[in-house]
Chains A and B, each alone.
Chain A
Amino acid sequence: MKFDTIIIGGGLSGLVCGIKLQKAGQKCAIVSAGQSAMHFSSGTFDLLGRLPDGTAVENPSEAAGRLDKGHPYSILGTEAVLKYADEAKDFFAECGISVSGDARKNSWRITPAGERKPAWLTLGDFTPLASKDEKIGNRALIVNILGYLDFNTKFLADSFEKQGTECRIAAVRLDEMERLRKNPSEMRATNIARVMDRDGIWEKAALQIKELIREEDVVVLPAVFGLKDASVVDKIRETIGVRTIFAATMPPSVPGIRTQMALRSEFEKAGGRFFLGDTVTGSECRENGEIESVGTVNFGDIRLHADNFVLASGSFFSKGMIASPSKIYEPIFGIDLNYAEGRGNWFDGCFWNRQNYISFGACTKDGLHASINGNTIGNLYVIGSLLGGSNTLYEGCGGGIAIITAMAAADSILNK
């Protein structure tokens, strides 16, 4: 089966790259071994929150110039990073995904534990805060759904109280939700959303919440609404009538899954082919070292041929990289990776410290091209979290790297 470009990995990065190529007239396929990390999305994409030396970043577009030369942003250049960051907002809007934010000024998001972290693009469900210690209101009513365990109201209340917001915690009980409670291990965000999204039910919940309000000027709810259609979220805001903030829950993430579904459907609507639940097993090379085709578990003897290949297979979680006791490797092509020698240098014994292994990944000497045994492969690109050179968790730049390198690789392929 022949395509212009085959992308390995169907998460944020792979889909952004695929949509861009497909919309530019290419014929693309995405092979994805299971669902992606978008299912654990925080509801925002970060661009750059902190420099490796610990300096907090206010203006990511400017701070990107101060990163080490191995960082994916440095490889692309500050100008390109800013260009693609600006393009990203329109890109999501065209996919029907509402986002707000600016690459020149970080906003702040509230984590499920009540922490605040820098954010670049925020999904329409959430309310970006202008500063780290912005007060969300004078009095907040934090409302959970009875029996739901992945939304920690106490943590949130504690954190809001630090800014002087007086908090009250309440819960709504809906008959329709009681059925779910029979099975506490499945009383999760997506199952709640499936019930809430039905006509009449979200309205009932919103009216109950409205009843609960006494003197509060802000209501805080878990983001468990609108699994398929984000419009439910706005309708709830309208019905409650008081400023309503949705807070991210523990996984699974309803807004994240909705975004993943929207991106996949945008890719398929444009004519792209998405192969879910399939694993790429190996490749065939041309004489010049370029990739000719890949094989997959499900395709068996039928090979997938393409002019270009994009590796968006992610980091350790999705087996884009695999760590054995003695080495770290990329299992499909065996591309060159940067990582510290000696297992002892991979991690810090204290869980909360900065972990080295997060910065391991593909070394791309020439743009985003992968190399194998030191030889650059002209038609194999690496994007997203498989790229090394940045401690994405510490620096807060995983979302930006996923989106921006995907766009850059797509352009590089289109301009060949």
Chain B
Amino acid sequence: MNMQEKNISANNFEQCIKCTVCTVYCPVVPVNPLYPGPKQAGPDGERLRLKKGIYFDDTLKYCMNCKRCEVACPSGVRIGDIIQAARLKYNTQPPKLRDMILASTDLMGSIATKAAPIVNMTVGMKPVKAAMDGVLGIDKHRTFPKYSSRTFEKWFNKNVKAFQESFNRHVSFFHGCFVNYNYPQLGKDLVSVMNSIGYGVHLLDKEKCCGVALISNGMTDRARKNAAINLESIRKSVNERQMPVIGTSSTCSFTLRDEYPHLLGINNEDVRDYIELASRFIYRIVDEGKVKLVFKKDYKARIAYHTPCHMEKLGWGIFSTELLRMIPGAEVTVLESNCCGIAGTYGFKKENYHVSQAIGKPLFEQINKLRPDFVACDCETCKWQIEMSTEYAVKNPISVLAEALDLVATSEANK
């Protein structure tokens, strides 16, 4: 009897009681009948795979790794982890060129920013889109995110790095690929907001892509290398400089905290609690009365908040929505919990495009019906998907704060 109690595997698949609740909440199952569903792909399949690897089923690639099955599971089984870990362990096919390109956000970003205007124009042209569709298998309906001509890091080092030391309290910022190569404005907004509440912002000694796209495309060796570099820098920040690490992307934060130990087998226990989203960090210090936010008197906005899947898994949507609700002129509606369908690089792949749009449909319809001024969301790929599929702009809650705060008055109030 003791054996049974203690014999729990790493991804606790034996705690599944076959209740089928996970299959009700899988976004893929209703739109793609080729996918066997989380119960079959996860705990049920794991029993077979443990007997023999040949029971590995290639259709597990249709899992988006949204983790909605885990959020729904009444028995706490890490279903999404079981499926992703099986893909990494048993899939012997090398990643395609297309997958390598999509997954190499760091490399592609550093090349593309050097020639941003040309790259942005080229990938937007119909013949190029057709060629990428035909040759690579990147769907032609996709709008590629624009690259910035100057990286966030360059802007930071040149313009604001010098005076960050003048603050009494400090944080490190894990900006991620999106802020660095595509949308430095979000990073600038974060610096403005943090500075206004009396915190200096610092970059990590070395930052690599968190590796989420590498993991989902089976490139674990490179993901592990990135993880090692990131964790070394995070440890320096947390242990030597006593600076917690905040980010603006729910998926990057989720990967650093949970995918590293669960999928890459890398222990981050000592620093995991010091890696979090900026919205959670700010909520906490406001709630504890350590800082004050002073908002513009004339700010008004009808905001629809979309909770990204990984934010649902983190359980942190509440911090972003409570922050937005602090803005006196904001009318905040939390959208129904639906996946937008993009799931990082998943929706860019030609074979997934239609599935991806079908998954997102209920969300797009709700946004269109609500007619907000804009959508707020903590995930960059959800942003691309919603902006491409609706007429509404998507802003990170930190950017919304930067707009709504009276930054000068907030600085005064926190001196």
**Interface, chain A (partner B; CB < 8 A):** 1, 33-37, 39-40, 179-180, 182-183, 185-186, 188, 190-191, 194-195, 251-252, 257, 268, 273, 275-279, 296-302, 317-319, 324-325
- Tell me if B312 and A40 are in contact (CB < 8 A): no
- Tell me if B30 and A185 are in contact (CB < 8 A): no
Min distance, Cβ A334 to any Cβ of chain B, angstroms: 19
Query: Quick one: given A34-B71, A277-B312, are A300 and B273 in contact (CB under 8 Å)?
Result: yes
Min distance, Cβ B156 to any Cβ of chain A, angstroms: 28
Query: Quick one: given A183-B33, A325-B5, are A188 and B74 in contact (CB under 8 Å)?
Result: no
- Tell me if A324 and B315 are in contact (CB < 8 A): no
Residues 37 to 93 of chain B near chain A (Cβ within 8 Å) = 37, 39-40, 44, 70-76
Min distance, Cβ B349 to any Cβ of chain A, angstroms: 21
- Tell me if A182 and B315 are in contact (CB < 8 A): no
Most chain B beta-carbon neighbours within 10 Å: one of A34, A296, A324? A34
- How far is it, in angstroms, between the C-alpha of A190 and the C-alpha of B280 when the chains are bound? 35
Residues of B near A180 (CB, < 8 A) are 33
Residues of A near B5 (CB, < 8 A) are 324-325
- Chain B residue nearest to A301 (CB atoms) is B273
- Tell me if A182 and B71 are in contact (CB < 8 A): no
Apart from A35-B73, A251-B20, A279-B76, what 16 extra A-B contacts exist at CB < 8 Å? A1-B287, A33-B74, A34-B74, A35-B74, A36-B74, A39-B19, A40-B19, A191-B23, A195-B30, A252-B24, A268-B334, A275-B315, A276-B312, A277-B70, A298-B314, A317-B74
- How far is it, in angstroms, between the C-alpha of A298 and the C-alpha of B67 when the chains are bound? 14
Q: Which of the residues A40, A183, A299 comes within 8 Å of B37, measured between beta carbons?
A: A183
- Chain B residue nearest to A297 (CB atoms) is B315
Residues of B near A268 (CB, < 8 A) are 334
- Tell me if A34 and B76 are in contact (CB < 8 A): yes
- How far is it, in angstroms, between the C-alpha of A49 and the C-alpha of B44 when the chains are bound? 37
Min distance, Cβ A78 to any Cβ of chain B, angstroms: 33
Min distance, Cβ B354 to any Cβ of chain A, angstroms: 13
Residues of A near B19 (CB, < 8 A) are 39-40, 251
B316 at the interface (CB under 8 A from A): yes
- Chain A residue nearest to B316 (CB atoms) is A298
B392 at the interface (CB under 8 A from A): no
Min distance, Cβ B107 to any Cβ of chain A, angstroms: 33
- How far is it, in angstroms, between the C-alpha of A405 and the C-alpha of B73 when the chains are bound? 26
Residues of A near B23 (CB, < 8 A) are 186, 188, 190-191, 252
B29 at the interface (CB under 8 A from A): yes
B313 at the interface (CB under 8 A from A): yes
- Tell me if B1 and A325 are in contact (CB < 8 A): yes
- How far is it, in angstroms, between the C-alpha of A331 and the C-alpha of B44 when the chains are bound? 28
- How far is it, in angstroms, between the C-alpha of A306 and the C-alpha of B62 when the chains are bound? 43
Residues of B near A297 (CB, < 8 A) are 315
Give the size of the chain B interface in residues (CB under 8 angstroms). Answer: 41
- Tell me if B71 and A277 are in contact (CB < 8 A): yes
- Tell me if A273 and B315 are in contact (CB < 8 A): no
- How far is it, in angstroms, between the C-alpha of A35 and the C-alpha of B25 when the chains are bound? 10
- Tell me if A298 and B315 are in contact (CB < 8 A): yes
Min distance, Cβ A40 to any Cβ of chain B, angstroms: 7
- Chain A residue nearest to B29 (CB atoms) is A186
Residues of A near B313 (CB, < 8 A) are 277
- Complex A-B: 26 CB contacts under 8 Å: A1-B287, A35-B25, A39-B21, A183-B29, A183-B34, A183-B37, A185-B36, A185-B37, A186-B33, A191-B23, A252-B20, A252-B23, A257-B24, A268-B334, A273-B318, A276-B315, A277-B312, A278-B315, A279-B76, A297-B315, A302-B280, A302-B283, A317-B74, A319-B75, A325-B2, A325-B5
- Chain B residue nearest to A251 (CB atoms) is B20
Residues of B near A191 (CB, < 8 A) are 23, 29-30
- Tell me if A299 and B24 are in contact (CB < 8 A): no
- How far is it, in angstroms, between the C-alpha of A180 and the C-alpha of B33 when the chains are bound? 6
- How far is it, in angstroms, between the C-alpha of A325 and the C-alpha of B4 when the chains are bound? 10
Min distance, Cβ B335 to any Cβ of chain A, angstroms: 12
Residues of A near B33 (CB, < 8 A) are 179-180, 182-183, 186
B236 at the interface (CB under 8 A from A): no
- Chain A residue nearest to B317 (CB atoms) is A275
Residues of B near A179 (CB, < 8 A) are 33
Contact mask for chain B residues 2-36; partner A; CB cutoff 8 A; 1 contact, 0 none: 10010000000000010111011100011001111
- Tell me if B74 and A186 are in contact (CB < 8 A): no
- How far is it, in angstroms, between the C-alpha of A36 and the C-alpha of B21 when the chains are bound? 9
Residues of A near B126 (CB, < 8 A) are none
- How far is it, in angstroms, between the C-alpha of A188 and the C-alpha of B30 when the chains are bound? 10
- Chain A residue nearest to B337 (CB atoms) is A276
- How far is it, in angstroms, between the C-alpha of A2 and the C-alpha of B37 when the chains are bound? 39
Residues of A near B71 (CB, < 8 A) are 34, 276-277
B284 at the interface (CB under 8 A from A): yes
Residues 252 to 289 of chain B near chain A (Cβ within 8 Å) = 273, 280, 283-284, 287
- How far is it, in angstroms, between the C-alpha of A276 and the C-alpha of B318 when the chains are bound? 11
Residues of B near A302 (CB, < 8 A) are 280, 283-284, 287
Q: Nearest 3 A-B pairs (CB), nearest first?
A: A298-B315, A277-B71, A34-B74
Query: Quick one: given A298-B315, A298-B316, A299-B315, are A34 and B34 in contact (CB under 8 Å)?
Result: no
- Chain A residue nearest to B20 (CB atoms) is A252
- Tell me if A188 and B318 are in contact (CB < 8 A): no
Residues of A near B35 (CB, < 8 A) are 183
- How far is it, in angstroms, between the C-alpha of A364 and the C-alpha of B156 when the chains are bound? 61
Q: Which of the residues B24, B70, B273, B316 comes within 8 Å of A39, measured between beta carbons?
A: B24
- How far is it, in angstroms, between the C-alpha of A277 and the C-alpha of B307 when the chains are bound? 14
Most chain B beta-carbon neighbours within 10 Å: one of A40, A190, A195, A275? A190
Q: Which of the residues A37, A195, A275, A277 comes within 8 Å of B72, measured between beta carbons?
A: A277
Min distance, Cβ A135 to any Cβ of chain B, angstroms: 34
- Chain B residue nearest to A32 (CB atoms) is B74
- How far is it, in angstroms, between the C-alpha of A191 and the C-alpha of B129 when the chains are bound? 35
- How far is it, in angstroms, between the C-alpha of A299 and the C-alpha of B76 when the chains are bound? 17
Residues of A near B73 (CB, < 8 A) are 34-35
- Chain B residue nearest to A29 (CB atoms) is B318
Contact mask for chain B residues 311-354; partner A; CB cutoff 8 A; 1 contact, 0 none: 01111101000100000000000100100000000000000000
- How far is it, in angstroms, between the C-alpha of A152 and the C-alpha of B33 when the chains are bound? 24
Min distance, Cβ B386 to any Cβ of chain A, angstroms: 21
Q: Which of the residues B20, B21, B30, B36 comes within 8 Å of A194, measured between beta carbons?
A: B30
